[in-house]
Amino acid sequence: MAQNESSGWHGTTIIGVRKGGQVVIAGDGQVSLGPTVIKGSARKVRRLSPGGYDVVCGFAGSTADAFTLLERLEAKLEATPGQLQRASVELAKDWRTDKYLQKLEAMLIVTDGTELYVITGAGDVLEPEHGIAAIGSGGNYALAAARALIDGPEDAETIACKAMAIAAEICVYTNGNLTVETISG
């Protein structure tokens, strides 16, 4: 399942791939302002460890908005240790109903190595089909590439990296400078 921003802003590509007991989230490093590349080495994939419970998150969209959401997610995870789905649903509810949060323009892919979700500002917590989720400007390209590779012999990290390379060749808002985080379930 891929989600693209609908408000006219562009930024990045994030992919999550689950295969063989592992989940990999990979993201490119490009930061764009309109048609200009501002930075090529941003880290848009992060590991959170509230209370010793590891969660990997990738974000697309406004960086400040995404950091606000990551802080909120971390607080939800601290309140519901080991319950990624519940924390994600609570974040999505707040995001949809809070007048301040409603203005945030970002999306998240989150995983604890077992569960994999896309969280949107529309109040969605979506579990992807085929163990693949992609967001951002190049999300559909990365998703299509990963879907083509998922039944082959490659592991989750190889699939994610190959899919991101294909997205970077097609999407002008995506580069090949990757941050990759792997987590086991």
The catalytic residues are 12
Q: Would you give the end-to-end CA distance of the chain in angstroms?
A: 21
Q: Which two tokens stand for residue 66?
A: 């995404």
φ, ψ of residue 3 in degrees (nearest 5): -125, 130
**DSSP strand E in the chain: where?**
2-3, 13-19, 22-27, 31-33, 36-39, 45-48, 55-61, 106-111, 116-119, 125-126, 132-136, 179-184
Alpha-carbon distance of 59 to 44, in angstroms, equals 6
Query: Do the strands 31-33 and 116-119 form a parallel or antiparallel pair, or are they unpaired?
Result: unpaired
